[in-house]
Structure 1
Amino acid sequence: MRAAAEAAEAVRDRLGTDAVDLGFVLGSGWSAGVDAIGETLAEAPLAELPGFSRPVVAGHGGMLRLVRTPAGKRALLFTGRTHFYEGRGVEAVVHGVRTLAALGGTVLVLTNGCGGLDPTRGPGTPVLIGDHLNLTGQSPLRGATFIDMTQAYPKRLRDLARSVAPELTEGVYAQFRGPQYETPAEVRMAGALGADLVGMSTALETIAAREAGLEVLGISLITNLAAGISPQPLSHAEVVQAGLDAGPRLRDLLSRLAGVL
């Protein structure tokens, strides 16, 4: 955890804050709502902070921003994340989570863009994550670290989200290793295991968050129907465009959430 402590100290120096209350990781498509979460107090490029790298995925930003939310909380906004498929190791993937915890954060909002298995929930639909399947074959935990994952995404936070956005449904998210998109057979397997959503992030971060004592609110934006369900081949351009199209809806949702978290 030394890397997180060093990063937290750098954040204190660069952003001028001793501690924060919560954090938001804005995944594919979600950076459109960065200005809706609160008043910007300070910001710095992620790549200039210890242990972080410039995001490599189109649709992700590259800044760490400190804001004051409408609820009066201090929040860190990560406008990009490190994905496991980048080959930097699990520790790099969860570095932001552990840095947030080192700064005193207690709640983490994890967002992502994903493929949907339910044809009735089309592109542009945000979905609460009620549980996940970690299909990466990896974990950020080391040794005999037995963390309870029964309430990985607490009902308290999901109910709070629905109090400001009653239209939100929920589902089970499956994280694959990537970077290739899932095959139709893999999507069918995930569905047979109980998944409603498939993607390449979030589950590993949630495990690290639970180890650190953070509560997690997970929200996926369905950017496309998954392979074998969509009649069209998958492309990252489709993912980016779906995020752009959903921008106003995501801004409104993040604004409402920031008022109650």
Structure 2
Amino acid sequence: MQLGLEGRTIVVTGGASNIGRATSLTLAKEGANVVIADLDVDQANRVAKESTGPGPIAVCETDVTSLESVQALAAFTAREFGTTFGLANVVGWEDVHKFVDTTPEFWQKVTAINWTGVLNTTYAFLPQMIEAGTGVLLHVASDAGRIGEYKEAVYGGCKAAVINFSKTIAREVGPLGIRSNVVCPGMTMPTSEAEYGALSMHATTTKIGSAISPETLERAKRLYPLRKFGTGQDLANSIAFLLSHEAAGHITGQTLSVSGGYTMI
């Protein structure tokens, strides 16, 4: 199946690590003009150099929690490649704690990255899609936002908001030729340290890595009907599909769990 992404300009927030990295590389292989929007410029540049696709990859240092930074990203993308066709909101951050053990500062960080970031980027890029009469919004949420997840109260709440927001936007801009969808990962693990940078949650939180024993991870896999965790590439394949008008042009307002069957709705 041809995705028809050649020459399309697509912005990938959090495009330097794990799911975002795989998405950036996959879109470049499809011939898209990719902009990696990430705070970790060093890791983003490594991804750009790693790419073997025909599509170019540009890097823009971006803080999605700042509307000013995101507007600068939109201006950068316009200078580099022209009108943005696709926005893939992949950036996310979480650390796992019972709600009573968290603090307002923690809530603010989780909310700013996972929820405000989606508002900022959509606000910055949607007007040019409306003017062009075409475009795709793709937000990475989480199965935690669909069912609730132990020790992820604030994160799950943010992701639930993203799911509802995407549906509402799909209704508002569908008549204008723009689609909006959500992909929900379950546990998605990097296969090597090369897949994430120093600023990634995989390097900075207690959620993954050496903080979880191999035995615990194996037990956790039993919660998944496919008995395995996802990889960045698993998600990237679904993201690329939903960004394609040719392959997924009649799909909007939907939420797709790419989680090995962890959630079935």
TM-score (norm 1): 0.36
The structure where helix makes up a greater share of residues is 2
Asked which structure has the greater RCO (Cα within 8 Å, sep 6+), the reply is 1
Task: State the TM-score, normalizing by the size of structure 2.
Answer: 0.35
Identify the structure with the greater strand proportion. Answer: 1
